[in-house]
Structures are given as structure tokens and as C-alpha cells.
Structure 1
Amino acid sequence: MFEPSSRYQGIPTTVYTLPDGRKVSHLRRRFLPQPEELAHVGVHIVAAGDRLDRIAARHYGDPEQFWRIVDANRVLWPASSTAVPGRRLRITLPAGVPGGRASDGAARP
């Protein structure tokens, strides 16, 4: 149903029965990863005019991966992540992928 790179890949569906008997299929809730548990690979310092899709394209090679930046930085409203120039955004690997570098530059297992 979803591309392998989608944030919804692997999320199971369920069926809800409405009071009138109609059934509605929907995705179960997607639980966000804990940013501290994501493997850190870099930092992006927001410049005036930056957009999440362009930052994702630069760091991940795919503008549709913007959600990884949002997850890694505990952002509630995606546009707020680039609203203030100078903000440091963590760039991480997806949940469950080991590696990367700690914020002090040391290699992580």
C-alpha cells in the first residue's frame, strides 16, 4: 500500500465499524521514534528560505524524506522547523538502523 520509504510503511490497518454498520478501514496509529535513539549522522543549520523538502533532498537524496527530519527533532508543526534561521536540525538514520556518529563526533555502534 505504501512505498518502502514511506513513514507509514509497515503500519497495520484496522477496521472501524460505524454506528450505522458501515465499516471504515484505516491505518493504526504511527508511534514516533525517540529522537535520542536515532543514529545521528549530521546537523543542518537552517538558513533563511530553507524548506524541509530541500533539506531532505540534500541530506537523504529524496525530498519526501522530510518526515525523518521532523521525527529526529521532535517537531510538532513541520514548517516551524525552518522558521528560525540558525536552528540546528539533527539529521539521523531511520529508526532501527544502527550507526552514525554521536553528537561529540564519536562513532556509534
Structure 2
Amino acid sequence: GDKTNGGIENCSACTPIESPTTTVLVTCSACESNKKVSPGGSSCLTDCPENSTASEGACICNSGFAPSGDKCTSSSANRSGLSTGAIAGISVAAIVVVGGLVGFLCWWFVCRGKA
């Protein structure tokens, strides 16, 4: 890569990271050659990645998405990694178990209580 701009190719202006959390200690704030700054500022891209929009020479993540490297990932509440189907299956199983327990207790106290 280009050593003059933090090793980020096609970067024309860099900004140091105040509290580094990645191996890149600078982020790109402007690119050359009609390229756009990636959402995380770690590279210069020809086209913005999925779930982002070009704005003033940079790729900005759409609403509900957050920068993650050169991409935009969902920032929704489902961070567990479980699919929607798995969550639905677990919910149905929990309802069946609770329903069975309530039914058993009703039988125990109502039907057996009369004997």
C-alpha cells in the first residue's frame, strides 16, 4: 500500500484514530481518483458496499446499520446470531411446555381432587 497515507491506497487525507481498536492506526477521510471512503474509513472503494449510500465522497451506512471494517452490518437488537426461525421455534416449544404444565396441574388438582 501507499506508505504516505497510512498504507491506505488512493487515500488523499488521513485522520489518526484517538483510541485504536484495530490494527489500522489512521482512517482515510478523503480519497483520490473518484473513489469513496469506506464506511469504517479503512480503505478507498470504487462502489459503496451493500446497505450504504454515497455522500460527499464517503460511503455512509443506512439507518439500522453500523460501520464494520469496509462493510455496514445490522445494528438491530438481534445480536444473538440466532435466526428468526430458531427464535420462533424456541418460543413455540416454551409455550407448549408451559401449556402442558398448566394442563397437568389442572388435572392434578381438579380431577384427582374429586377422587
When normalised by structure 2's length, the TM-score is 0.20
**Relative contact order higher in (CA < 8 Å, ≥ 6 apart):** 1
Larger radius of gyration: 2
When normalised by structure 1's length, the TM-score is 0.20
